[in-house]
Amino acid sequence: METTTKFSYYPGCSVEGMNKAYDKSARVVCEALGVDLVELNDWNCCGASAYMSIRELRAHLLSARNLALAEKEKKDLVVVCPACLTTLTKTNHYIAENPRLKKTITTALKAANLQYYGSVKVRHLLEVVVNDVGENEIKSRIKNSLQDLKVAPYYGCQLTRPFGEVDDPEFPTMLDKLLGWIGAKPVSYPLKAKCCGGMLMMTKEDVGLELTKNLLACAMENGAECIATICPLCHMNLEAYQDNVNKHFGTDFHIPILYFTQLIGLAFGFSRKSLGIDDELTPSKALLEKHLEVVR
Amino acid sequence: MPEMHADRRQHSITDVFLEDIYSIPGGDKIKDCIQCGTCSASCPTSYAMDYTPREVIASLRAGLLDRVLKSNTIWLCASCYYCTVRCPAGVKLTDVMYELKRLAVEFGYVEKRAKAPVVSKLFVDLVDKNGRIAEVELVSKFMIKTNPLAALSMMPRAWKLFKRGRMPLIPHRIKGVEELKKSASTIEEISGLHAGTGKTAEEA
């Protein structure tokens, strides 16, 4: 008997655009695991950092609209982007802690015939897979073990900071564990929860490149053959900007960057195409062929 | 959550800042800063900042907030929240940086072509128009506004992404966008501010 857990699913703008492979692989893997992701109807931007930098109340309103829509569905809201996680969670907390903010947001939502009572829990997919699905279930589905592929787990910032509700804010271990379950060898390296530069890659490129270069170098020096990501923005910086890093610093990085969902999918025997792995700018095919029994 | 409403510009920038920051849950912890510098040491971008995060709070206390608002510091904060989780006094420094960004825009401290404020403003406009953000639209409009020539150097990557189906060109507009606008104008009415312009609702 298959048990199915239902969640409302909030993809976020980033995986609708340049990072579709994350959404694609998340859906494939969740279906295999009996995690039923029902996309939240008519969701909007969460009000992430760039919006919050100009408008505070309206950023909270954007998050609150999503939370109000999710509350109607009476399920936890699962996200794949840590920035969406932090933004939605922040609104949840601040509304609960500041009665005046709550009143303002409630009045504003009412103008759109919506209401939010504060009951929705926002969760990142990684945490759902590790805590709700768990080790046994995942191991039982492995058809194509990653056979000691050395993977640097990269957490970035906002999965655990600032709230630290699901893992240690500075030394998270959740992704390390998961990588072990699918047969990979998680690489220990000190920068695993350091910042990639985020949107600075657009607005202050030299700083963005510096932070990204440090991460790539640190992972490589500690023996990583590829890096696992859980955030579309980190993924973009590490993957699509590797060429720029090389040009800027005279380095020679060619390290494949894969979403954690793509790695699980490979271990479950799904084809590269079905996981969106063909879309990448830093090819991983040769590496995967070296480690996996079957690479489709 | 401004108390001062329409006449924010009649007050000193320090008063406006404190008014806003105290309204954030835990915002009053800023009074407990002991100037230990843990924030600056934890910050991945402080090496490039005109004033480090510790100096931001020192400037506030010295009544020199305007030099911070003009500096590159606030726009180098990448929201990694290291300072926030490490601060022994519980100061919510990332929220402080957000507040400073908003004040810099509201009170006209930013240069017209400064990249980070430009991208934030575009982000807000596009989300207000469609309810979601389309990265391709954001990046291309950003390049046109800040440095059209540099756009050429991005073409090779753009083409590679396009070939791989990673450059969707048509932005998605949510169904509830008009309802969302109603909610947004309600917010403007309540706060009495045309947020981001520094004007009152009447002035705007």
pTM of the model: 0.93
Residue-number span of the structural domain to which A44 is assigned: 5-123
- Residue B189 included in any domain: no
Interaxial angle between packed helices A82-97 and A99-110, expressed in degrees from 0 to 180 and rounded to the nearest 10: 110
Spatial separation of the C-alpha atoms in residues A16 and A22, rounded to whole Å: 9
Q: Are residues A119 and A162 in the same domain?
A: no
Residue B134: predicted pLDDT: 85
Q: Are residues B88 and B152 in the same domain?
A: no
For the segment B156-193, what is each residue's pLDDT rounded down to a tens digit? 777 788 778 777 777 789 999 999 999 999 998 988 75
- Residue B185 included in any domain: no
Q: Which chain A residues have a beta carbon less than 8 Å from that of B186?
A: 107-108, 110-111
Q: Which chain B residues have a beta carbon less than 8 Å from that of A47?
A: 127
Residue-number span of the structural domain to which B157 is assigned: 115-180
Q: Which of B124, B176, B190 sits opposite A55 (nearest CB)?
A: B124
Check A162 against B98: CB less than 8 A apart: no
How many domains does chain A contain in total? Answer: 2
**Which residues neighbour A29 within 8 Å (Cβ) at sequence distance 6 or greater?**
A129, A261, A264, A265, A268, A270
Please, are residues A22 and A51 in contact by the beta-carbon 8 Å criterion?
Answer: no
- Residue A89: CATH number of its domain: 1.20.1050.140
Spatial separation of the C-alpha atoms in residues A118 and A116, rounded to whole Å: 6
How many domains does chain B contain in total? Answer: 2
Query: Hey, is A45 helix, strand or coil?
Result: coil
- What average pLDDT does this structure show over A260-278? 96
- What average pLDDT does this structure show over A116-120? 96
Q: Are residues B105 and B119 in the same domain?
A: no
Q: Is B90 on the interface with A (CB under 8 A)?
A: no
User: Which residue is closest to A54 within chain B, CA to CA?
Assistant: B102
- Residue A239: CATH number of its domain: 3.40.50.11810
Q: Would you place residue B4 in the very low, low, confident or very high pLDDT band (cuts 50, 70, 90)? A: low
Residue B2 pLDDT exceeds 70: no
Choosing among B17, B47, B85, which should be mutated to test the A contact, i.e. which has the most A CBs within 10 A? Answer: B85
Q: Which chain A residues have a beta carbon less than 8 Å from that of B166?
A: 17-20, 279
Give the residue from A123, A152, A187 where a domain finishes. Answer: A123
For the segment A220-231, what is each residue's pLDDT rounded down to a tens digit? 999 999 999 999
Residue A213: predicted pLDDT: 98
Q: Tokens 């108390």, residue?
A: B3
Q: Are residues B85 and B56 in the same domain?
A: yes
DSSP state for residue A38 in the 8-state scheme: E
Q: Are residues A118 and A150 in the same domain?
A: no
Q: Are residues B142 and B90 in the same domain?
A: no
Residue A176 pLDDT exceeds 90: yes
Q: Are residues A117 and A173 in the same domain?
A: no
Q: Are residues A62 and A180 in the same domain?
A: no
Q: Which of A17, A53, A161 sits opposite B82 (nearest CB)?
A: A161
Q: Are residues B81 and B170 in the same domain?
A: no
DSSP string across A91-147: HHHHHHH-HHHHHHHHHHHHTTT----S-PPEEEHHHIIIIIIHHHHHHHT-SS--T
Q: Are residues A65 and A196 in the same domain?
A: no
Q: Is B139 on the interface with A (CB under 8 A)?
A: yes
Residue B201: predicted pLDDT: 39
% of residues, chain A, pLDDT over 90:
90
Q: Are residues B12 and B98 in the same domain?
A: yes
Residue B118 pLDDT exceeds 50: yes
The whole-angstrom distance between A289's CA and the closest CA on chain B is: 21
Q: What is the ipTM of this complex?
A: 0.94
Q: Are residues B33 and B66 in the same domain?
A: yes
Residue A3: predicted pLDDT: 60
Q: Are residues A274 and A196 in the same domain?
A: yes
